[in-house]
Structure 1
């Protein structure tokens, strides 16, 4: 009995233990299932995050590819724009040079290359005063312009190139860097513009206006002078006639007054009265020719043109000036005049009287310059005259080794009534009349080149074929 009871107790304990084990196992299964479900949930979340991340990376990659493609397009556009700007700048006929703040070249356009022969590669990095040595500005001036950010403009700078004056406008524009607040400059753009044609046209228009006014004045003066001049010449002719031994009426009147006419003529000859009268007559006739030239000058008369031997005309002008009796005659004897023309120098269809007037004016100006006491005379005073053919023109140059012409005077010497001579020693009409005769009556050119202290050169260019045809067809 006791044994059965013990066995039952054991069996009951085993059942309890089994129940406990089964309950624990069930709880473990439930926990494992919950953990498994949680793991699956986390796995799904992780997969979603990976998917979202992948999608985001794909989108970012697409955006990056689009950005790269956009940058490539922009870079291509920038290159095209750069080439277009370079083409535009190189198409400008003006010299355009970029310089850094230290004055070294950063850009050099085609016009600068054509002007200097210096290529872009050689000019790049070179200082502007070396690349453009004739630029009329110093290194310090350029530095100040860039430093103070003030544009610099200098108009109508004159330079002599191939013996011809050229005019330029110089402009310098400082470049402002991106840091506007700091006001730092990164360099400058230098523009050199050839304005020679514009200046010549302006000068021609101004000169034509002045010549038009002068022509009207010349005509009035000529008519006023003609009357007393005619009286002088008429009376001189009468005096010569009435003192001539060849007229019987002169002898009769001398006999009437018991005057020995032969002795009277000896007296006149010994006192050089006939020579004085001849001088008056020649001077009067010369004045008459000048008046006629003034009238032709005012009325643009081309009717008296013919084939002119220029060297012969020059020799006549030289001889006339030698015998003109100027106040500086004593010094003129020391002036050596050299004339040299090519053997085949052609004749020109022109007005001999007008050209002689031009040559007389230029020679007299040269003589007066050489006779001046305002400079140190060279050992030999020289006037050189030369003539040659250039293309379809004949060129006559008259030069002297006198004091030259100052720059502030040179631009005005062809203006009417402009003179540097003392009152009573010059009218200021000689060169202006010469200018009008050459440019208007003969469709030529007259210019002057001079450096003060080194003499002056007047150059006359007269057309051959063109002016001949024009004149012959009038």
Structure 2
């Protein structure tokens, strides 16, 4: 067995020492007895042979020990250098390393493993259960099944077998990080069962967010074309319904000279007709048709705005001023006040001083901010947490040549399934009759398509929802407009 490999050479050396000692004592005594008859001389020579034996054995022990120690020290140095190279390599690639003793259920986690999750090594136990406790609920069953199946599998002799899986782990601050885990069985017992598995963890959160952003953009572009076609198809019959409903209202419910003459020609009292219609609730039904047509018309208008390029008026604006103007607008918005008084929400501000102005369409940005604020207010009102005072936090800072705006509420949050669909047209979590599901879709297109920026949402169930917008300080569209303006001035 590997753990007792040291025993054989140790026993061999000991046996050689015993044999050499036995032969030395036996042969030296025999030779002394043969050549020396004087007892005193014999004793003196025997003492000298003993000392000679001690010197020879001491030299041999010194030689063997020093050679062994040199080899051990050389190996230790090589191991130390290998560990240093491995540590540098792992630091460079920012991978976390784990080493799982399956039988003892003990796991070694490297410092980087803890670091990527925001922990220190003493903040959670090094065990398989600790890893399981950090898994996202939606990933737990799948990840455990992949590892269990891998441990049962026996690969062909001499062919290394690895596994790879992706999952989310909870960080110390309660957020989630996407992790790519790769591993390989490093040792098996005599029954060919795995006893040691080693591997790495790589933080792939940014890659996942980029993939999701690209997927969302492609999806929105596809839906944009579909929305345009649908809007035009819906608009024609909608116009017919609207016209018919208006005619019903004018020719049946209005008290005018033409209606009275027509009733008189038919020997019918117009007042009696109106009384009958009121009793049958016809005016309420016609009004319902007109309101539904108005609502459908708004949806069609939004669909067309969503799907086509609009004329833009770019100029430099202060984002802080746009945000403050939008907050003021939200506090006086009649439709919002019908459901919830925006002034009951505490607005917290965290603005970086001297934030540069950006090239943008101010009206469009205010539309985006208002959509987000309305959604936040309605979420806080409909599904708010009673023991928590409603708050919205506005943040503003710069990153390189971008301005970053975040709007965060302390409402009920949303799960991953809702978060991934939040920018899809017609997707809404509101009750029927409230909202069209286009507000955030249009906002997303304004930011990403019209302003070449980025827009994302993050959330924690029961805690918060945060919309983050990144906008370039300078915009090619504004430069183009300025050039066109300059050309016009030169022509005049």
Normalising to structure 1: TM-score of the pair? 0.56
1: distance between equivalents of 2:366 and 2:251?
A: 35
Distance in structure 2 (CA, Å) of the matches to 1:163 and 1:63: 59
Deviations 1:217-273 (A, max 9, x none): 111111011111112222333333335767544444445445544555555556554
Determine if the alignment matches structure 1 residue 387 to structure 2 residue 392.
Answer: yes
CA distance change for structure 1 residues 109 and 158 in 2, over 3 Å: closer, same or farther? closer
CA spacing shift, 1:395–1:131, aligned 2, 3 Å: same
231-240 or 291-300: bigger deviation? 231-240
5+ residue gaps, structure 2: 1-61, 155-160, 315-321, 352-361, 397-403, 448-453, 482-492
Matched, 1:294 2:303: yes
Whether 1:282 and 2:291 are equivalent positions in the alignment is: yes
Q: For 2:335, which of 303, 309, 316 is the aligned residue?
A: 316
Indicate if the aligned counterparts of 1:339 and 1:386 stay in contact, CA closer than 8 A: no
Please give the alpha-carbon distance, in whole angstroms, between the structure 2 residues aligned to 1:95 and 1:339. 46
Which secondary structure state, in structure 1, belongs to the residue aligned with residue 345 of structure 2? strand
Q: How much does 1:289 deviate?
A: 0.9
Give 2:467's aligned residue.
Answer: 460
CA contact (8 A) 1:337 1:383 kept: no
CA separation of 1:155/1:293 partners in 2, compared to 1, >3 Å: closer, same or farther?
same
Measure the CA separation in 2 of the matches of 1:123 and 1:279: 62
Question: Displacement of 1:110 after TM fit?
Answer: 3.7
Per-residue deviation, 1:294: 0.9
C-alpha contact (below 8 Å) 1:439/1:446 kept by paired residues: no
d(CA) in 2 for partners of 1:172 and 1:183? 18
Is the alpha carbon distance of 1:165 and 1:186 closer, same or farther for their aligned partners in structure 2, counting shifts above 3 Å? closer
Give 1:129 deviation, angstroms: 4.4
What does 1:192-271 align with in structure 2 at a 5 Å threshold? 192-243=201-252, 247-261=256-270, 264-265=273-274, 268=277
C-alpha distance in structure 2 between counterparts of 1:417 and 1:444, whole Å: 15
Asked if the contact 1:158/1:167 (under 8 Å) is kept, the reply is: yes
Aligned partner of residue 80 in structure 1, secondary structure: helix
Is residue 2:88 matched to residue 1:87? yes
CA distance, structure 1, for counterparts of residue 65 and residue 148 of structure 2: 46
The offset of 1:468, in angstroms, is: 11
Instruction: Structure 1: state its 5+ residue gaps.
Output: 1-60, 323-335, 371-377
Q: 1:169-228 CA deviation, whole Å, 9 max, x = no partner?
A: 223322238xx9996867332422211111112222222222222211111111011111
Q: Which residue of 1 aligns with 2:15?
A: none
Aligned residue among 92, 104, 107 for 2:106: 104
Distance 2:297 2:368 in 1: 14
The whole-number CA distance in structure 2 between the counterparts of 1:99 and 1:153 is 16
Alignment of 1:308-457 (within 5 A): 308-309=326-327, 311-312=330-331, 316=335, 319=338, 340-342=345-347, 350=364, 386-391=391-396, 392-397=404-409, 399-400=411-412, 413-414=421-422, 433=438, 436-442=441-447, 443-450=454-461
80-89 or 245-254, which deviates more: 245-254
Distance 1:316 1:430, change over 3 A: closer
CA distance, structure 2, for counterparts of residue 292 and residue 304 of structure 1 = 20
Residue 179 of structure 2, aligned match among 154, 163, 168: 168
CA distance change for structure 1 residues 458 and 231 in 2, over 3 Å: closer, same or farther?
farther
Cα distance in 1 for partners of 2:345, 2:475 equals: 28
Say if 2:330 and 2:336, in contact at 8 Å, map to a contact too.
no
Q: Do 1:383 and 1:400's aligned partners in 2 also have CA atoms closer than 8 Å?
A: no
* Alpha-carbon distance between aligned partners in 2 of 1:393 and 1:250, rounded to the nearest angstrom: 59
How does 1:67-146 map onto structure 2 within 5 Å?
A: 76-101=77-102, 102-106=104-108, 108-113=110-115, 115-119=117-121, 127-129=126-128, 134-136=133-135
CA separation of 1:343 and 1:314: change in aligned 2, threshold 3 A:
farther
- Kept in 1: contact 2:326–2:369 (CA 8 A): no
Maintained 8 Å contact 2:95/2:203: yes
- 1:288–1:430 Cα change, 3 Å: closer
Q: Cα gap change, 1:185/1:350 in structure 2, threshold over 3 Å: closer, same or farther?
A: same
* Equivalent residue number for residue 43 of structure 1: none
> Displacement, 1:339?
6.1
Q: Secondary structure of the equivalent of 2:392? A: strand
Q: Which moved more, 1:148-157 or 1:187-196?
A: 148-157
Using the alignment, how far apart are the partners of 2:184 and 2:213 within structure 1?
A: 31
Deviation digits for residues 382-414 of structure 1 (CA, Å, limit 9, x no counterpart): 99974221344242548459xx86x7x557645
CA–CA distance in structure 1, aligned partners of residues 127 and 463 of structure 2? 32
Report how many aligned residue pairs link the two structures: 370
Distance of aligned partners of 1:350 and 1:415 in 2 relative to their CA distance in 1, 3 Å threshold: closer
Scaled by the length of structure 2, what TM-score is found? 0.54
Once the two structures are superposed, residues 270-291 of structure 1 have per-residue CA deviations (whole angstroms, 9 ceiling, x without a partner) of 6554444333222212211110
The alpha carbon displacement at 1:338 in A equals: 11
